[in-house]
Chains A and B, each alone.
Chain A
């Protein structure tokens, strides 16, 4: 008999166990071939059959070697529960099962001696979401009749750019008694209130990134929805920079400045201005941490776009040289506005934090009128790669922080001057329209979303520890990988179609929410339209408590 070694890793220690039915398995090998994590393998098992052939019991034993599929007992190549094997198995012979007794977080640290890294999102179990404790509870009836979501027209656009206070508008009454411009105002682009938020061309596979870009172009050109997409840090293909579709792109610059060399070089050849510039200071999923692209994902084209060798690409946690909010404002002013001759609005993105209101207050007082938006990213946001401890334990929920910022602006009479865009777990239940709408009632001008876009494309990850392997470069559905065989699993046209359809559905749902409160334009700051079923939430957000 084999002796038992306690320290050996067994499936029992891992987050997922494979349920395998040898009777149904035809040994076609599809699952083993499909598992990008090499978490299953074919093995030969010894079987012993006791049988008796005569009239009287005459037990004999027969040994046979049987090929089977088995789970790999490794804390590295462990099953992620992605379900690809189950999807591909023609006989329903294999599937992952969540292991509630997993010791994985402990053994990985013990055996690896390094912090755990992964992608995805926060995986700590949470209670009912704040947004699900809010309802659109002020319904128009009688004196203020509801609108008709099908028949009426709705004006659903959100500002990206700095908005001047009315008394500062450079306008005067001309000789004809009409208002005339007496100066210029900062650039403002009015866009769809849901921005596809910043996922880089390194974090995503080229097919996925192109699929999103394709969906955005289609939404604009064919559906009349002015949806914008943010490039993420890491540049943009030169072909796109020089095309007319650049106008649908918000270019991101983050602390690593990856990709900006190419963008700068392409400037003289641009036929359209980009929709905006987003300077990423921080990110909700891993606040205080810079971008991280593991070497596995630095493929040829990434090396070309970013101008880097194949190595782990780490963006520093800070923009070097930015030591204060004022300085960051200056820097934006000097570099980006000037670069695009003040035609392109510039906004900044920060991780929601206990200090967000101070940051916002400093920005709204910016004397240059240059900050064109504050993108606040909450703890439930996603990321391509991060240390698990950051993902699970750092960050700030978005709902109350967004509200705090709006109320801070309101207290100064400056609401709307720096548009607020919110993100971080919005659409987690699959219903982005409801989440976005509630955030707008609380004061957001719009929202941005990334993870949900991946889910539209087929991402199987969730916040209960399923998959979340975006950092490995082995994304089983071809979304966050640069491995050609995996990338080919993704059909970009189908992905684009899914995204377009989701936006169309969401657009209808926005109307279905605006109609009953009787509003034909977005209800920014209309907290009176919301009620809360939780007293503490109601108090914190300053809305009505109901039960």
Chain B
């Protein structure tokens, strides 16, 4: 079983907090990898929030190819950050030669373009890069989006932390939202793309569980949007459904829950909005999930949310202090990073609940 975690804070926090959050839960995962997506960046990226940052792991050739493609398209690099690595012998890490975090300015012709046009461009660029680098496994392009960085690696999370010097807090590499998970997907081949969290156009999702409607989801999503590709893990389906419901259909977040875990028909009939709920269930039946799952997601406005499947549930706890909210599969993780919180205010969501935390750390709870 995976363990998943997320931190949302009023202050910029360092990934060491995410490592700590997961460290105490390591009995529950197999220590086969470490992955995180950071939103709302601080440190060296803080000044460049409006510009897209490329997160990539690649060979030298891969880096060269990617940069060429971006330059050809007119992107201009404004910042490059290469994490200093600790390559001491004996670390359990299957590292790629280069980890690249580069921020680019948009091509000139796009600088005054509408937001939507820019966002489509960024997606197309990422897909193009991924495609180009995939052929010879020259690299893995995780995200190319403003104010978002992604790191994914195969190995022991503790050693990965050591390698990237993530155990030592500093102020250069921080964010207000960090989502994280410490296990490579075990149902499928171990490839870097298969590790959640997954990111698409400002949306991030990660999940703990098994989606038995994977095939149904995949077959439907493949035709919904050009960005819905890969499907290396069943949890990617959650990201795509989230993106589709919230961004493509433009529906409020709470309807994501009605799409992935619709109410039983008998229950729908009793509701005032039965007509809408039924229409959703009918038209989006192929995005329904089944099996035990807990999902954590982040929206482009940095709202953090969580919800579970309709029946079997995977655990999730939400612990809070005045300036930080932490989501974790196991409460021991929260105890580790927020030892002084009032644990009586911890939230254990139920299967029909959707919990969202906004930028003021206000917690909203919707019952389906």
Q: Which A positions have Cβ atoms within 8 angstroms of B?
A: 140, 143-145, 147, 152-153, 155, 157, 159, 163-167, 169, 171, 173, 177-181, 185, 188, 190, 410-413, 415-416, 517-521, 523-528
Contacts and interface: CB of A to CB of B under 8 A. Distances in A.
Contacts of A171: 251, 276, 279
Contact of B264 (A155, A523, A525): A155
A140 B222 CA distance: 25
Closest 3 CB pairs of A and B: A413-B223, A144-B210, A166-B283
B279 A185 contact: yes
A152 B273 CA distance: 26
Contacts of A527: 215
A166 B220 CA distance: 11
A163 B216 CA distance: 17
Given A144-B209, A171-B276, A180-B276, A521 B288 contact: yes
Contacts of A180: 276
A140 B273 contact: no
Contacts of B249: 166-167
B71 interface: no
Interface of B: 1, 209-210, 212-216, 219-220, 222-224, 244, 248-252, 255, 264-265, 273, 275-276, 278-280, 282-286, 288, 290-292, 310-312
B223 to A, nearest CB: 3
Nearest to B1: A143
Nearest to B312: A145
Contacts of B222: 413
Contacts of B210: 143-144
Contacts of A178: 252, 273, 276
B283 A164 contact: yes
A520 B223 contact: no
Contact of B283 (A152, A163, A520): A163
A53 B279 CA distance: 95
A416 B285 contact: yes
A167 B212 CA distance: 25
Contacts of B224: 413
A189 B252 CA distance: 27
Given A178-B252, A180-B276, A144 B212 contact: yes
A147 B311 contact: yes
B311 A525 contact: no
A446 to B, nearest CB: 13
Given A144-B210, A526-B215, A159 B282 contact: yes
A171 B249 CA distance: 10
A518 B285 CA distance: 17
A147 B312 CA distance: 8
B212 to A, nearest CB: 5
A416 B284 CA distance: 9
Q: Of B224, B244, B255, B282, which is in contact with the most chain A CB atoms at under 10 Å from its CB?
A: B282
A155 B265 contact: yes
Contacts of A410: 219-220, 223
Contacts, number: 108
Given A144-B291, A178-B273, A181-B276, 7 more contacts: A163-B285, A167-B248, A177-B252, A188-B282, A518-B290, A520-B290, A523-B290
Contacts of A188: 278, 282
A3 B33 CA distance: 95
Contacts of A525: 215-216, 219, 286
Contact of A518 (B212, B216, B250): B212
Contact of B284 (A145, A155, A166): A166
B290 A415 contact: no
28 contacts: A143-B1, A143-B292, A144-B291, A144-B292, A145-B292, A147-B312, A152-B311, A155-B265, A164-B282, A166-B284, A173-B250, A173-B251, A173-B252, A177-B252, A179-B276, A190-B265, A190-B278, A410-B220, A518-B212, A518-B291, A519-B213, A520-B311, A523-B213, A524-B216, A524-B285, A525-B216, A525-B219, A526-B215
Nearest to B287: A166
Contacts of A143: 1, 209-210, 292
Contacts of B284: 166
A524 B250 CA distance: 27
A237 B195 CA distance: 62
B283 A165 contact: yes
B4 to A, nearest CB: 14
Contacts of A177: 252
A179 B251 contact: yes
Given A144-B292, A416-B286, A520-B311, A181 B213 contact: no
Nearest to A177: B252
Given A173-B250, A178-B273, A413-B220, A157 B311 contact: no
Given A179-B273, A416-B286, A521-B288, A526 B264 contact: no
A491 B285 CA distance: 42
Given A181-B276, A410-B219, A413-B222, A519 B290 contact: yes
A139 to B, nearest CB: 11
A412 B223 contact: yes
A159 B282 CA distance: 8
Given A165-B283, A171-B279, A179-B255, A520 B310 contact: yes
A416 B217 CA distance: 12
Contacts of B255: 179
B311 A526 contact: no
Nearest to A224: B266
A228 to B, nearest CB: 15
A152 B224 CA distance: 33
A255 B250 CA distance: 46
Contacts of B310: 520
Nearest to A157: B265
Contacts of B278: 188, 190
* From A415, A416, A520, residue with most partner B Cβ within 10 Å: A520
Contacts of B290: 518-521, 523
B172 to A, nearest CB: 38
Contacts of B286: 415-416, 525
Nearest to A445: B285
A454 to B, nearest CB: 30
Contacts of A169: 279-280, 283
B290 to A, nearest CB: 5
Contacts of B291: 140, 144, 518-519
Nearest to A146: B312
A221 to B, nearest CB: 16
B365 to A, nearest CB: 15
B324 to A, nearest CB: 27
A145 B286 CA distance: 21
Contacts of A411: 223
Nearest to B291: A144
A102 to B, nearest CB: 48
| Residue of A166, A180, A518 with most partner-chain B CB within 10 A | A166
A195 B279 CA distance: 22
A437 B224 CA distance: 27
Nearest to A226: B265
A157 B266 CA distance: 10
A388 B219 CA distance: 41
A48 B36 CA distance: 102
B356 to A, nearest CB: 12
Nearest to B251: A179
B272 to A, nearest CB: 10
Contacts of B273: 178-179
Contacts of A167: 248-249
Q: Max chain A CB contacts within 10 Å: which of B1, B250, B279?
A: B279
A12 B219 CA distance: 58
